[in-house]
Structure 1
């Protein structure tokens, strides 16, 4: 009976979480009508980074809104465990994509693959950050999730939490997806840690994606 109760609570919490994600989308639509469903205009790399940042923001906002309906520490532990699991091998996967890039030379593929690897733990941390902010509980990430200390990305998560909170406070006054540019900057900094330099630009000739040669990112390194 207890197991059934927990399953019912989990289903209800996930249902509420999905509902809050819809509410988050309605905020965006109210101040930037049509932008979410419109085709991206301008530079492809800017669009890619803003898409990734907005996904991270949506998870944070939905978890912050639904936190009051969660069943206490159980949800917190689940988010923390998911975050720590996502950290495993993150930088290594990015390095593997860079090594492949040395052969295929496709900058678009390089950015998409490395951003996917790097953005995943950022997104998973946003679940935890949003949940705890919704409960008005402070997050000591290094203590709650010790594996962050060995990830090489610890500072990026601290910066991410600050930028998510800024986005939250300004969420009803964004002008399109520029409202998540602070989160974009976090992703760019994390990519640089992994070995990819991205300079975003809407002006011709557009954004620049570059992977400096390092021991870790050489085919025979």
Structure 2
């Protein structure tokens, strides 16, 4: 059984790009969904929400979600803001890990001070209605990716990836090795070494030219 708190702690220390290097089959959310608060890292289990041009479902979901959860909001093409500074503040107060919206938010100026990771396709000043309670914890399509309640959502400034906890647990050792190698490469360049010289570039190119299977390696 996966130790979820320990897994999330390790994921928060890693760049999402490193996790993707370790498992290139992970589901990457549409990169048009971007962080509205820069410099944050996000990792937590999904609480899925359907909210089409109505922010009432967010209020219901924030009250129901467990600490550490990420609200994953599908708006099904909505064009109104379904979240903003008030919801982000309440989510942070309750210990949620973040809010990610396949649609629009508002109050961009106030979100950095809240500090909660918030992702969206953009911002608009016009809020939706409060007439439809929406749906919670059912499978949704979010940024082109199917997300089920309990799937892990992991993100940083590069974007979001989603998958079962076991997939991330399996990717962590490889991701940690990627970051050790990259740190060594950066240290080498700081000492004046060139990046191509710290790789197997020539052997890789020769193998490709001969039609042989090959993978670029690093020799920091």
Q: Same fold (TM over 0.5)?
A: no
TM-score category, normalised to shorter length = under 0.3
- Which is richer in strand? 2
Larger Rg belongs to: 2
TM-score, normalised to structure 2, is 0.24
- Which is richer in helix? 1
TM-score, normalised to structure 1, is 0.24
